[in-house]
């Protein structure tokens, strides 16, 4: 009996139930719910930088104390280790099927519409307007917007992929490279993804994490974390993970790994993820971060950089597997609120930078303990991003893009 029909730890045919619902609805609901979680984490991540003071972000309040900085660094490091890689994995999972149905021309056209239009609008109109209207950073008197755009803005900011939309840029780039590979290699994929088969053993997963970590370390010897190709806003120190996870998503579709993930493996790697999250503190304290800072962890010929890259890679794969298991088993349903969040997650991602910066500016003068302020602002920011995202999607033709 295949894993898809019956899970390994008992008689409950969870994967078969999920597969039947997916065929009936044309969607994997648990994957939609993971997307919502990741979108929420991205918003919380950038608000954490705002109030915890570590990282690179448009507005940082800079009032954090030791506790706020420590908890913020933990939250940011844990999520940075996996969430954008998992975003790429589940995005890649739907690429082969889309290409199979549409062919190269329609596939690329749809990618340009859904990814290219937001990239252009945000990078060339919305984000420049944020800078232009910023009451704290724009010189007075303001020059005409077109002059500001052509001069000051693009002198200092990326041409494309600005702000959080670097991810959309990367997804468009990877999708184009996939289409090029399909055109040149001309593989003969089956019409349907195979029955769940050949889910990698824990040994192969561990080896993949090892190689991914060594690869990341090797890149960071020359390009430490924080390095950025400014023209395109691409952070190459993380690209080993991003490339590996995108390819894993492509393979996972053909081999039906999201449905074929054995529960036993899911529980194992979820437990490993929990242990690795707790290991963060012994790693950074033992590596001298308290006295010497985090520079040695970010790159160069330092044992801390190698240890951190390995920690990051193992946590990445462990979280990808563990969250897939959790959501497939316990998160494959949607009520009205979950459906609303799922429909508007993409738009919320696209607009969240402008909204949370505006919100942070509006409460700039409110003096609260930074951790408390982070929580309170987040409680306002999340419904604001999804709610305004829902309104934007009601605009004419917006549904074609969003």
pLDDT of residue 154: 87
Coil, strand, or helix at residue 82?
coil
Find how far residue 262's CA is from the centre of its chain.
24
Listed residue (393, 390, 359) closest to 376, CA to CA: 359
294: left (phi over 0), alpha (psi -120 to 50) or beta: alpha
Contact 291, 229 (CB under 8 A): no
* CB-CB neighbours of 10 under 10 Å: 9
**What are the structure tokens assigned to 107, written together?**
């596939």
CA angle (237 as vertex; 235, 242 as ends), nearest 5: 80
Q: What's the number of CA atoms in the CB half-sphere (13 Å) around residue 175?
A: 31
- Any idea what DSSP says for residue 263? H
Coil, strand, or helix at residue 229?
strand
Give pLDDT tens digits along the chain (402 positions): 333 333 334 334 455 555 545 543 457 999 999 999 999 999 999 999 999 877 788 888 887 788 888 899 999 999 999 999 999 999 999 999 999 999 999 999 999 999 999 999 999 999 999 988 888 776 677 788 888 888 888 888 899 999 999 999 999 999 999 999 999 988 876 655 555 557 999 999 999 999 999 999 999 999 999 999 989 999 999 999 999 999 999 999 999 999 999 999 999 999 999 999 999 999 999 999 888 888 999 999 999 999 999 999 999 999 999 999 999 999 999 999 999 999 999 999 999 999 999 999 999 989 899 999 999 999 999 999 999 999 999 999 888 898
Listed residue (187, 169, 312, 306) closest to 231, CA to CA: 169
Contact 343, 111 (CB under 8 A): no
**Rounded-to-integer distance, Cα 79 and Cα 319, Å:** 10
Coil, strand, or helix at residue 234?
strand
Place of tokens 């240890």: 307
**Rounded-to-integer distance, Cα 53 and Cα 42, Å:** 16
**Rounded-to-integer distance, Cα 136 and Cα 125, Å:** 19
**Rounded-to-integer distance, Cα 18 and Cα 23, Å:** 9
**What are the structure tokens assigned to 218, written together?**
């090797």
- Any idea what DSSP says for residue 294? S
pLDDT of residue 306: 97
**What are the structure tokens assigned to 298, written together?**
């970010």
Listed residue (118, 164, 175, 167) closest to 400, CA to CA: 118
Partnered with residue 234 across adjacent β-strands are: 229
Model's pTM, two decimal places? Answer: 0.90
Find how far residue 227's CA is from the centre of its chain.
18
**Rounded-to-integer distance, Cα 166 and Cα 242, Å:** 12
Angle subtended by helix axes 83-93 and 95-111, to nearest 10: 90
Place of tokens 């609260």: 368
pLDDT of residue 76: 95
CA angle (190 as vertex; 187, 195 as ends), nearest 5: 130
Listed residue (379, 381, 311) closest to 78, CA to CA: 311
Contact 91, 34 (CB under 8 A): no
pLDDT of residue 71: 92
Backbone CA torsion sign across 283, 372, 385, 50:
negative
Partnered with residue 229 across adjacent β-strands are: 234
Place of tokens 């950074």: 284
Place of tokens 């597969």: 19
**What are the structure tokens assigned to 44, written together?**
């919380």
Place of tokens 């040695």: 296
């Amino acid at each position: 009996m295949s894993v898809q029909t019956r899970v390994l730890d008992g008689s409950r045919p969870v994967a078969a139930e999920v597969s039947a619902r997916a065929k009936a609805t044309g969607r994997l609901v648990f994957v939609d719910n993971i997307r919502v979680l990741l979108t929420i984490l991205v918003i919380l991540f950038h608000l954490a930088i705002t109030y915890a003071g570590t990282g690179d972000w448009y507005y940082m309040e800079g009032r954090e104390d030791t506790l706020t900085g420590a908890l913020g660094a933990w939250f940011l490091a844990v999520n940075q280790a996996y969430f954008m890689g998992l975003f790429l994995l589940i995005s890649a999972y739907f690429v082969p099927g889309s290409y199979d149905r549409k062919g190269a021309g329609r596939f690329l056209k749809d990618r340009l519409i859904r990814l290219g239009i937001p990239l252009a609008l945000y990078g060339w109109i919305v984000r420049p307007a944020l800078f232009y209207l910023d009451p704290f950073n724009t010189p007075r008197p303001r020059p005409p917007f077109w002059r500001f755009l052509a001069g000051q803005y693009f002198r200092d900011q990326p041409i494309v992929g600005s702000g959080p939309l670097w991810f959309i840029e990367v997804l468009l780039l990877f999708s184009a490279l996939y289409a090029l590979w399909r055109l040149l290699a001309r593989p003969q994929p089956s019409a349907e993804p195979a029955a769940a088969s050949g889910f990698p053993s824990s040994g192969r997963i561990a080896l993949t994490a090892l190689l991914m970590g060594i690869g990341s370390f090797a890149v960071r010897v020359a390009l430490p974390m924080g390095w950025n190709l400014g023209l395109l806003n691409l952070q190459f120190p993380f690209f080993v993970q991003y490339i590996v996870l995108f390819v894993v998503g492509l393979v996972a579709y053909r081999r039906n790994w999201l449905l074929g993930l054995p529960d036993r493996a899911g529980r194992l790697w979820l437990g490993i993820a929990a242990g690795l999250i707790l290991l963060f503190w012994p790693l950074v304290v033992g590596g001298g971060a308290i006295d010497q800072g985090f520079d040695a962890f970010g790159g160069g010929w330092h044992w801390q950089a190698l240890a951190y890259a390995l920690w990051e890679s193992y946590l990445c794969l462990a979280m990808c597997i563990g969250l897939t298991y959790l959501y497939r088993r316990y998160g494959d349903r949607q009520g009205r609120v979950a459906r609303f969040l799922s429909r508007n997650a993409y738009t919320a991602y696209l607009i969240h930078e402008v909204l949370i910066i505006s919100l942070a500016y509006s409460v700039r003068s409110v003096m609260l303990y930074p951790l408390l302020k982070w929580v309170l602002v987040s409680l306002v920011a999340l419904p604001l991003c999804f709610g305004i995202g829902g309104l934007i999607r009601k605009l004419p033709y917006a549904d074609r893009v969003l």
